[in-house]
Amino acid sequence: MYKYWLWIFLFISPYPILLFKVNDFALPPWSEFERVLYLSFVQSFFSASLALIFGFLGALGLLSWSQSKRFESLRTFITLPNFIPPLFVLLSVINIFESVGSFPFGLFGVVFIHVLLNVGLCAVIIERLIRENVGGTWELAQVEGAGLASFYWYGIITYLKRDLLSLFIFVFALSLTGFTVPLLAGNIEPLSLSIYLFNKLRLEGDWGQALFLALFESTVLYLFTLLKTKPILNIGRPLMYRGFKGLSLPGVAWALATITLILLLGDITGWVSGVEQLFGDSVILPRFGGAALYTFSIGMATGLLSFMSFLLLAGYFFHFRLFRFFGFYNSPSPIFLGFVFLLALPEVGRGIQLVCGLWLLFFPLLFRMYGRAFIEPLQKQIEVAKVHGAGSGLILKSILFPQMVQPLCWLSGVAAFWGAGDFALSRVLLGQDRTLALLVETLLGAYRLDMATVVALAMLLVGAVCMGLFVGAGYVYRKKYV
């Protein structure tokens, strides 16, 4: 009956482990902490605000697109910067800037990258919110004499203020706890709480202050979760695709798609040069091959662990309280989680630590995004099967697995893709250049941008192969056995 407590304990265990391992709980110097808080909140506020502003304009552009498969594919396309590893987008932007001048490292650079990462996702979400809640009212407002600007403010922004606030908090929290972008695009001063935590652990070795910062960061994230008083989207509600004539801005949507394409391609002129440099470098090339294999193994292991976890959760550990737990639980900072593994499990292999850490980071997010949607409806079938005397093993094999295998393989493929592109946790647990993401950092630090771009493309390719293997396996099983 209380088996679900094992899952809850597993996900909250990093905090009590560190509490028992660290003897001295210490506060950072107030002047230093105040400065970091100020910079982190300023960076996060502008990142979230600008992402929502430009996302709103993008949403008005998307209103001109129909419900056809072509436009649905384009909507997915403009959200890709938020889906792929931020390291790739960062490197692409730096390449573009360096081809015409120099990249503005520091607060402006970090905010700029965060906006590019999130604006497409914000545009698609806001468009859906408008179609769900505002569809059909624009024509009525025109009849009653409402102006365009007035309808934008009162008919959309004011009416959707709670949803927009939830979206703002989501982007704000991502920016506040970000690591990759503030580390590589920032300057000397920490521009996020995760960077400050990393400095306390890596540079100063102060576990007492690090524990305070980790608990503070988690508390802030939990408070943000409480502020999100309603889901951003209601997937079950129908969308309206008519009645937006005169309200949409068609050119903005295509501009957003063009920006996404530029981000994904980067400075394409440097690709050939990067390949030539890579294959002509007798030092980097062997490290590249080893890093590619290691990245592939990490991605596949993360996907497999996620696949098994979803099956076990659905078949043996299902409980509504566990679903509620994952609804408000926020994964700890990958920096904090990495150092907990190093402190608590020093004898365990770093690769195993990395895979387990990635699973702890990704599983709650994947569960909230998609997992619950296809696990919860199956519980009635489980209850009926148990009434007829079926055991857990038979239920899992004959009822759950055939229905879950395809969506589970897709979710596991996403976990594998993210695992192959991980930078933050790998930066703590692994040595230099063990994965392709870490090799990109090394090349970026040496200012070998063309070669770093090629390695980043290889990182995406390895992640795509991992995801493709899982998705393909699910499709084949579904066609052959179901």
| Element holding 298 (H helix, E strand) | helix 284-315
Greater model confidence, 322 or 43: 43
Distance from the Cα of residue 480 to its chain's centroid: 33
309, 356 contact by CB (below 8 A): no
**Do 183 and 38 share a structural domain?**
yes
Q: Per-residue pLDDT averaged across 188-203, rounded?
A: 84
The backbone torsions φ and ψ at residue 290, rounded to the nearest 5 degrees and listed phi first, read -65, -40
- Residues 215 and 193: their CA atoms lie apart, in Å, by 11
Cα 33 from Cα 37, distance rounded (Å): 6
> Mean pLDDT throughout 173-182?
89
CA distances from 271 to 169, 290, 421, 451 (A): 37, 21, 19, 8
Query: Residue 136 pLDDT more than 70?
Result: no
Residue 43 has pLDDT above 60, yes or no: yes
- Mean pLDDT computed over 279-295: 90
Higher-pLDDT residue of 243 and 266 is 266
| Residue 184 maps to a domain | yes
**Is the pLDDT at 18 greater than 80, yes or no?**
no
What pLDDT shows up at residue 250? Answer: 80
pLDDT of residue 37: 92
Considering the domain architecture, whether residues 239 and 325 belong to the same structural domain is answered as no
Instruction: Establish if 172 belongs to a structural domain.
Output: yes
Distance CA 120, CA 256 (A): 7
Q: Which of helix, strand or coil describes residue 331?
A: coil
- The rounded percent of the chain whose pLDDT value lies above 90 is 29
Separation CA 347–CA 467 (nearest Å): 30
Average pLDDT of span 459-469? 95
Q: Provide the pLDDT confidence category of residue 111 given band limits of 50, 70 and 90.
A: very high
Q: How large a percentage of the chain has pLDDT more than 70? A: 88
Of the listed ranges 149-153, 177-181, 451-455, 460-464, the one predicted with least confidence? 149-153
42 domain residue, yes or no? yes
Residue 287 CB partners (closer than 8 Å, separation 6+): 433, 439
What's the pLDDT tens digit per position in 423-459?
999 988 987 789 999 999 889 888 888 899 899 999 9
DSSP 146-158: --HHHIIIIIIII
- The domain that holds 58 is classified in CATH as 1.10.3720.10
Q: Is 22 left (phi over 0), alpha (psi -120 to 50) or beta?
A: beta
* 133 in the same domain as 110: yes
Which residues contact residue 305 at a Cβ distance below 8 angstroms, ignoring those fewer than 6 apart? 355, 356, 359, 415
Q: How far from chain centre, in Å, is Cα 158?
A: 28
pLDDT tens-digit series, residues 398-421: 777 777 888 889 999 999 999 999
* Structure confidence at residue 166 (pLDDT): 86
Question: Nearest to residue 86, comparing CAs of 51, 110, 107?
Answer: 110
Shared-domain flag, residues 35 and 157: yes
pLDDT for residue 321 is more than 90: no
Please report whether residue 16 resides in a domain: no
Q: How confident is the model at residue 46 (pLDDT cuts 50, 70, 90)?
A: very high
Same domain, 263 and 318: no
pLDDT confidence bin for 267, thresholds 50/70/90: low
Maximum Cα–Cα distance across the chain: 73
Q: Are residues 115 and 192 in the same domain?
A: yes
Domain match, 247 and 103 both: yes
pLDDT above 80: residue 178: yes
Say if residues 448 and 376 touch (Cβ distance below 8 Å). Answer: no
20 inside domain: no
End-to-end alpha carbon distance in the chain: 32
Q: What is the residue-wise DSSP string for 2-35?
A: -THHHHHHHHHTHHHHHHHH-----PPPHHHHHH
Q: Please say if the pLDDT value at position 1 is more than 60.
A: no
Q: In this predicted model, which residue has the larger pLDDT, 317 or 51?
A: 51
Q: Residue range 6-31: average pLDDT? A: 81
Domain stops at, among 242, 268, 294: 268
Question: Which pLDDT value is given to residue 361?
Answer: 92
- Average pLDDT of the segment spanning 60-66: 83
Q: How confident is the model at residue 332 (pLDDT cuts 50, 70, 90)?
A: confident
Give the domain range for residue 307. 269-482
Comparing 64 with 353, which gets the higher pLDDT?
353
**pLDDT at position 236:** 47
Distances (CA, A) of 384 to 2, 255, 377, 387: 21, 52, 13, 5
pLDDT at 480: 74
Is pLDDT at 228 greater than 80 in this prediction?
A: no
State the pLDDT confidence band at 298, using cuts at 50, 70 and 90. Answer: very high
What is the pLDDT at residue 242?
60
Are 345 and 430 found together in one domain? yes
**Mean per-residue pLDDT for 283-291?**
90
Query: Residue 204: inside a domain, yes or no?
Result: yes
Exposed, middle or buried: residue 109 (CB in 10 Å: 0-12, 13-18, 19+)?
Answer: buried
Answer with the one of 214, 244, 268 that is the final residue of a domain: 268
| 367 part of a folded domain | yes
CA 326/CA 365 separation, integer angstroms: 8
| Number of domains the chain contains | 2
Task: Work out the pLDDT band at 115, boundaries 50, 70, 90.
Answer: very high
Closest CA to 81 of 196, 202, 174, 198: 174
In this structure, the answer to whether residues 149 and 35 fall within a common structural domain is yes
Tell me: do 273 and 291 sit in the same domain: yes
Q: Are residues 447 and 366 in the same domain?
A: yes
CB-count burial class (<10 Å; 0-12, 13-18, 19+) for 336: buried
In a domain, 285, yes or no: yes
pLDDT tens-digit map of 370-397 = 777 777 777 777 777 777 676 666 766 6
On the question of pLDDT at 355 being above 90, the answer is yes
pLDDT at position 199 is: 86
DSSP assignments along 396-452, one per residue: IIIIIHHHHHHHHHHHHHHHHHHHHT--HHHHHHS-TTSSHHHHHHHHHHTT-HHHH
Question: Does 292 lie in the same domain as 247?
Answer: no
- Please state at what angle helix 207-227 crosses helix 161-176, rounded to 10 degrees: 170
Torsion of Cα atoms, 116 then 197 then 357 then 293, to 10°? 60
Domain boundary (227, 245, 268) is at 268
* Chain CA centroid to CA 469, Å: 21
CB 167 within 8 A of CB 126: yes
